[in-house]
Amino acid sequence: MARSPTVIVIGGGNAALCAAISAAEQGASVRLVERAPEALAGGNSRFTAGAMRVTYDGVEDLRRLMPELTDAEIARTDFGSYPRDAFFDDMGRITHYRTDPELAETLIDSSLPTLLWMRDQGVRFLPLYGRQSFEVDGKVRFWGGLTVEAWGGGPGLVEKLTEIARGHGVDIAYSSRAVALEHDGRRVTGVRLQTQAGPQKMAGDAVVLASGGFESNAAWRARHLGAGWDLARVRGTRFNTGDGIQMALAIGAASRGHWSGCHAVAWDLNAPEYGDLDVGDGFQKHSYPLGILVNNRGQRFVDEGADFRNYTYARYGAEILAQPQQTAWQVFDAKVTGLLRDEYRIRTITRVVADSLESLAEKMEGVDAGGFLSNVKAFNQAVRTDVPFDPSVKDGRGTAGLDIPKSNWANPLDTAPFEAYGVTCGITFTFGGLHTDVRARVIDQGGEPIQGLFAAGELVGGLFYFNYPGGTGLTSGAVFGRIAGLEAAGSRSA
Ligand SMILES: Cc1cc2nc3c(=O)[nH]c(=O)nc-3n(C[C@H](O)[C@H](O)[C@H](O)COP(=O)(O)OP(=O)(O)OC[C@H]3O[C@@H](n4cnc5c(N)ncnc54)[C@H](O)[C@@H]3O)c2cc1C
What amino acid occupies position 191? Answer: V
Edge-to-edge, what's the strand order for the sheet holding 77-78?
A: 77-78, 139-142, 133-136
Q: Can you tell me which atom of ligand 1 is nearest the CA of 211?
A: 34
Q: Which residues, at least 6 apart from 422, have a Cβ–Cβ distance to it below 8 Å?
A: 268, 269, 270, 327, 328, 329, 350, 351, 352, 364, 365
Q: Which atom of ligand 1 is nearest to the CA of 284?
A: 1
pLDDT of residue 222: 98
Confidence at residue 493, expressed as pLDDT on a 0 to 100 scale: 57
The pLDDT score that the predictor gives to residue 134 is 73
* Ligand 1 atom at minimum distance from 283 CA: 1
- For residue range 275-292, list pLDDT tens digits in order: 999 999 999 999 999 999
Question: What local confidence, expressed as pLDDT, does residue 311 receive?
Answer: 87
Ligand 1 geometric centre to CA of 341 (Å): 23
Output the CA 182–ligand 1 centroid distance in Å: 24
Q: Which amino acid is it at 441?
A: R
Model confidence band, residue 492 (pLDDT cutoffs 50, 70, 90): low
The radius of gyration of the chain from alpha carbons, rounded to an integer in Å, stands at 23
Lowest average pLDDT, out of 27-31, 68-72, 269-273, goes to 68-72
**Inter-CA distances, 247 with 210, 370, 482, 492, Å:** 12, 53, 22, 21
Whole-number Å distance between alpha carbons of 370 and 281? 33
Nearest atom within ligand 1 for CA of residue 49:
8
Report the pocket of ligand 1 as residue ranges, CB < 6 Å. 10-16, 33-36, 41-45, 47-52, 177-178, 210-212, 235-237, 239-240, 243, 275, 281, 428-429, 457-458, 471-474, 477
324-382 per-position pLDDT tens digit: 999 999 999 999 999 999 999 999 999 999 999 999 999 999 999 999 999 999 999 99
* Cα–ligand 1 centroid distance for 15 (angstroms): 8
Q: Give the distance (Å) from ligand 1 centre to CA of residue 154.
A: 10
Tell me which H or E stretch contains 139.
strand 139-142
Query: What's the 80 CA to ligand 1 centre distance in angstroms?
Result: 29
pLDDT reading at 61 higher than 80:
yes
Which pLDDT does position 416 carry in this prediction?
98
Ligand 1 centroid to Cα of residue 48, in Å, is: 8
The whole-chain average pLDDT of the chain stands at 95
DSSP for 19-40, written as a single string: HHHHHHHTT-EEEEE-SS-GGG
Residue 1: predicted pLDDT: 57
Distance CA 434, CA 219 (A): 19
Confidence (pLDDT) at 310: 85
50 CA: nearest ligand 1 atom:
8
Name the closest-CA residue to atom 5, ligand 1: 48
Q: How far is the CA of 11 from the centre of ligand 1 (A)?
A: 9
* Inter-residue contact 191 to 209 (CB < 8 Å): no
pTM (2 d.p.): 0.94
Torsion angle of the four alpha carbons 491, 174, 430, 180, in this order, in degrees rounded to the nearest 10: -60
Say yes or no to pLDDT of 6 above 60.
Answer: yes
| Burial zone of 11 (CB within 10 Å; 0-12 exposed, 13-18 middle, 19+ buried) | buried
User: If 0-12 CB within 10 Å is exposed, 13-18 middle and 19+ buried, where does residue 70 land?
Assistant: exposed
Question: Which ligand 1 atom minimizes the distance to the CA of 456?
Answer: 26
Residue 59's pLDDT is what?
A: 93
- Our mutation pick for probing the ligand 1 site, out of 211, 283, 425, 434, counting the most ligand atoms within 8 A of Cβ, is 211
Distance in Å, CA 61 to ligand 1 centroid: 27
pLDDT of 418 above 80: yes
Smallest CA-to-CA distance from 428 within 286, 250, 289, 331 is with: 286
Structure confidence by residue, pLDDT tens digits, 74-118: 988 888 899 999 999 999 999 999 999 999 999 999 999 999 999
Ligand 1 atom closest to Cα of residue 11: 34
Query: Which among 487, 28, 144, 132 has a CA at the least distance from the CA of 341?
Result: 132
pLDDT tens digits for 145-188? 889 999 999 999 999 999 999 999 999 999 999 999 999 999 99
**356 CA → ligand 1 middle, Å:** 42
Q: Specify the pLDDT at position 129.
A: 82
Of 337, 331, 387, give the one whose Cα is nearest residue 359.
Answer: 331
Tens digit of each residue's pLDDT (9 = 90 or more) over 427-453: 999 999 999 999 999 999 999 999 999
